[in-house]
Chains A and B, each alone.
Chain A
Amino acid sequence: MNDALPPATDAALASAPDPFARAVCHGCGAALLPSGRFCDACGRDQAADAADFDVEIAALHAPQIAKARKWIAITGGLYVLGGLLMFAVLSGRGGDSLTATVTLVINLVIAGIHGGLWAWAARAPLAASIVALAIFLMVHLTNAVLDPATIVQGILVKIFFVAALWQGIRAGLEVRKLELGRGRHT
């Protein structure tokens, strides 16, 4: 990897003002240009070794990630409300109590899953957002197949939810790219 550029010699290191901080690449050991951020032999990001790098990239994408997490919680809450409402309506008609109970349990299970995803999103926002979006698509496409009238029900909430999660996934991907990029070739 370093055949094109000479590795730093002892003499060069001794004459450099701060040899351990910036003189040689932490990844491949090649001599660095004094003002360069990246090693021009292996491409490793030297700034990534600074302690505040994680804070910097996390802060850059934090709003979108927090928004996605917030919408996961909102959706979970809506499943609880929807389940209770449907249970009340179905039971109130004096109809099939089994259907009402099944509907309530399914809504509560999905709400519980969203609660779990909300908690997980604090540690792994990208993974939680991907799963939340997948569950959302599965639930609402299944509902749409069973009853096409549900497509337009709560359409604004659906749009906001998908948009927030999509942004969260994109932000999470950017963070992941930076995380992978800073350690590349090591």
Chain B
Amino acid sequence: MDATPEVGAPREPESPEESANAPRCVICFARRRDNARFCAACGAPQSSEAQAEHRAQVPDLARHLTIAGAAFALPLATSLVLMIVGVRDVGWLRLSEGVCLIVGAGGLAALGAPARAGLQLPHGLTLRGVALTIAGTLAALCAAACLSALWPLTTGDAIVQLYLEAGHGLGTALFDFSVLAPIAEELAFRGVLLIALVSVLGETGAVWTSALLFATLHLSPISFAHLVLLGVVFARLRLATGSLYPGMLVHGVYNAIITLYDWRGESL
């Protein structure tokens, strides 16, 4: 380390290539070799080709964090607007899923190939992965059922009531919660938020952060723990299989069970 020159400090010529007429770095003005692709003093790329290579290797963290922030902020803003205007019809509930779909589509376009890879068919899911997914989902279902029994405020009773009042049947509720919601939320959270965070935080950090943000956006502190668990299961599925579809499937099954449970309780 001691022999390393300070970044930006011009070096003395050390070889015939480093004559007084040798080119200088475009950033720190240190002398460099004619054919150098990077500056030896500051590491800056010296050609458009090297710059493109550098960008491909070192992702733009601020941009990825901004995309992740947008994927969190837009659904949050929608939830807050719905709180202000008041949810008077099931159409308002679909609005937040619509925002998630827009966030998902926009994010996939902005993040490029790594995010769009999630639209491919799944591969590489091991028996251990399947077992962990089932165990995690069952644990979350048990937690939701226990909370529902102990603390009625955590159930989806109010939402089910909204469907009943609007004259919608169980089929409509199941379509909204076990088809529309998983597609929209998986696109936004695992398709965009998770993938944007992977380059910023690494895989483990991104999995936990996306799961915590997923739980946060549900605006239910009591359900926070099992929503985090679900978020981890869905994120691990996305990374293990390289696809969003297994997560959508498990998310849909989970939501269908919860919807049936709440519907039965409300109809009795």
Contact = CB atoms under 8 A, between A and B. Distances in A.
A and B interact physically: yes
Interface of A: 4-5, 22, 32-43, 45-47, 50, 52-53, 102, 105-106, 109-110, 113, 120, 124, 126-127, 130-131, 134-135, 137-138, 141-142, 145-146, 169, 173, 176-177, 180-181, 184-185
Interface string B45-60: 1000010011001110
B37 A42 contact: yes
B257 to A, nearest CB: 24
B142 interface: no
B83 to A, nearest CB: 5
A62 B184 CA distance: 39
A141 B76 contact: yes
Report the contact-size class of chain B (Cβ under 8 Å from the partner): 35 or more
B221 A106 contact: yes
B38 A47 contact: no
Nearest to B43: A38
B72 A134 contact: yes
Interface in B206-228: 206, 208-209, 212-213, 216-217, 219, 221-222, 224
B131 interface: no
22 contacts: A33-B33, A34-B14, A35-B40, A36-B11, A37-B5, A38-B39, A40-B40, A42-B38, A43-B37, A43-B43, A43-B45, A105-B222, A124-B204, A127-B205, A127-B208, A131-B209, A135-B212, A135-B216, A138-B217, A173-B200, A176-B61, A184-B54
B60 to A, nearest CB: 10
B41 interface: yes
Secondary structure call for the A interface: helix
A86 B40 CA distance: 61
Nearest to A47: B4
A142 B77 CA distance: 10
A130 B216 CA distance: 12
Contacts of A176: 61, 200-201
